[in-house]
Amino acid sequence: MTTAKDLFSIAMDPEPEHTVGQGDLSLALAGAELFDLIGAGAVTLDGDRVVPGGAPAPDDRLLGDAAGHIVQQPPHERIEDWLWRRGRDLAATYQDALERDGELTQQRSGRLPFGPKRVQLVDTPGRRRAVGRWEEGEPVLAALASAVGLDGGRSDDELRLDDESATTVVAAVHEAVMELEAVRQRRTIENTAFANVWRGP
């Protein structure tokens, strides 16, 4: 399992503190991938730019795909731009991948055989590893989860990161999630205003 898969698993917990939006989660998953790629030496950070690191990507299909989308020539991509580009529909991509790997299963809710399906986690070694990292308060996983509203009751002091690259990535994820929320709020206001005009006085 990777940090992104662990994060997805935590976000899919059957009793989350609140429902995580797909857009928010996708941005955080892209950040988790970037963190793992940095750790493997496949990429490095030059200020706010994502630069190829020379080392091969970890032996994971999704991380390999992420590494294959790194901009190879200067000017290299900004971290925020990477999050938005790579994060497009990334939560759905991880759900499909984990279902194929047997980490997730779809079960129908209720007693009727034709009721709506609900995705459920399977008790696998990967799932137990994710829970272990979460319960131990692994800093990067906790910080990325906090970005999408899953703080597990941890204080800001507990979420401080010692690694500069990890701090940079997590900060970019937080900013991207806040920007996405601002877009949502703006659309809500615009839709409300349009509805009021349509109804008239």
Lookup result for tokens 């988790």? 32
Q: Is the pLDDT of residue 109 over 70?
A: no
The pLDDT > 90 percentage for the chain reads: 41
Q: Extract the runs of DSSP E, i.e. beta strands, from the chain.
A: 43-46, 49-52, 104-108, 117-121
pLDDT value of position 102: 84
Dump pLDDT digits (tens) for 39-82: 999 999 999 999 999 898 888 999 999 999 899 888 899 999 99
Residues forming beta bridges with residue 49, ordered by sequence position: 46, 78
Residue 154 pLDDT more than 80? Answer: no
Mean predicted confidence (pLDDT) in 107-128: 67
Who has greater pLDDT, 105 or 5?
Answer: 5
Residue 37 clears pLDDT 70, i.e. is over it? yes
Band of pLDDT at residue 115, cut at 50, 70 and 90:
very low
Give 104's pLDDT tier (boundaries 50, 70, 90).
confident
Rounded CA-CA distance 156/141 in Å is 14
Cα separation of 77 and 82, whole Å? 6
Query: Looking at residue 17, what is its pLDDT?
Result: 55
Domain boundaries, the chain: 3-199
Contacts of 43 (CB under 8 A, 6+ apart): 34, 37, 50, 51, 52, 53, 67, 70
The answer to whether the pTM exceeds 0.85 is: no
Over residues 139-145, mean pLDDT? 91
